Amino acid sequence: MLELHQFRHSAFCLKVRMALHAKGLSFREVEVTPGIGQLAVFRLSGQRQVPVLVDGDTVVADSSAICGYLDELQPEPPFFPKDRRAVAQIHLIEDWADTTLAGSVRAALLQAAVDDPDLRAALLPDDVPGPIRQVMTGVPTGWLSGVNELFGQEERSAMLHNLIAIADGLTPGGFLVGDSLSLADLAVAAQLSLLRFPASAGSQLAGRGVAGLSDHPRLQPLFEWRDQLESRVFQPDPAAV
C-alpha cells in the first residue's frame, strides 16, 4: 500500500492527499513529528521535507513530483488535459500557488497565530507533549510581536488582489483551467486551507483562519469553491487508512 509521510496541516501534504483521493488510490498516512521525525524522513528520502510518498521500493519527495508520479501510476482521471495551452496554464498556476501564494499564506497564518494562542495550540501535532503545548499557548503575544514585521501590508494586499481576481473568475462547481480537475485546482485549494481551514483539517481548526482574509466578502466564492472541491474529492471510498 502507498504510504504518505506528512505534516497533517501542511498545504503541500493536503495537495497530495487530495491527489490520492482524486485518483481513487488507497494509502496510509504516516504523521511526521517536526524535528526528530524529520530524521526518519531524511533517511528515507535523502531530504527532510514532507510530503514523501513511498510505493514499495520507490520513494518520491515534493508535492509536484508526487502528483506527477500518481498521474503515471493511475492515468485516470488525468491531472492534465491534452490541450498544450491548457497544460501550460496549469503549470503556471501550480507554480504560482506553490511559491508566491504559499509564502504569503504561511506568513499570514503565522501572523494570525501570534495573536491567537488557541490557534497556535490547534496547529501543533497531536503527539506534542502537554507541557510543551502549554508553553506554546502561554507565550505572551508581546514576545512574538516581531513576527508581524515579516508580512507587510504590501505583500498582504498583493495576495488579496490575486485571490480576488481568481474568485471573480470562478464559476460555481467549475475549475480553474478547462472543464475537469487539474493540478491547478489542487495546488490553489491546498494553499487556501491555511487562510481558512476546511472540514478536512478537523474540528479544532475547521472554519478558523486568518482574520481579514478568511472573512473577506470578496473571497467567499473562493472558499466556497474550495469546500465544494474538497467534498467532491474526499469521497468515503477509498479513504486513507
Q: Within the chain, which residue ranges are assigned CATH 3.40.30.10?
A: 2-73
Q: Where are the alpha helices (DSSP H) in the chain?
A: 11-22, 36-45, 63-73, 84-96, 102-115, 117-123, 130-138, 153-169, 183-192, 220-233
Q: Residue 187: CB partners within 8 Å, gap ≥ 6?
A: 15, 63, 93, 94, 97, 98
Instruction: Give the domain 2-73 fold.
Output: Glutaredoxin (3.40.30)
State pTM to two decimals: 0.86
Report which residue type is found at 99: T
Spans of the chain, pLDDT less than 70:
124-151, 236-241
d(Cα 9, Cα 60) in Å, to the nearest integer?
20
* Predicted confidence (pLDDT) per residue in 37-52, tens digit: 788 888 888 888 999 9
Write the pLDDT tens digit of every residue in 146-186. Answer: 555 555 788 999 999 999 999 999 988 899 999 999 999 99
Q: Please, where in the chain does CATH 1.20.1050.10 lie?
A: 84-232
The CATH T-level fold of domain 84-232 is: Glutathione S-transferase Yfyf (Class Pi); Chain A, domain 2 (1.20.1050)
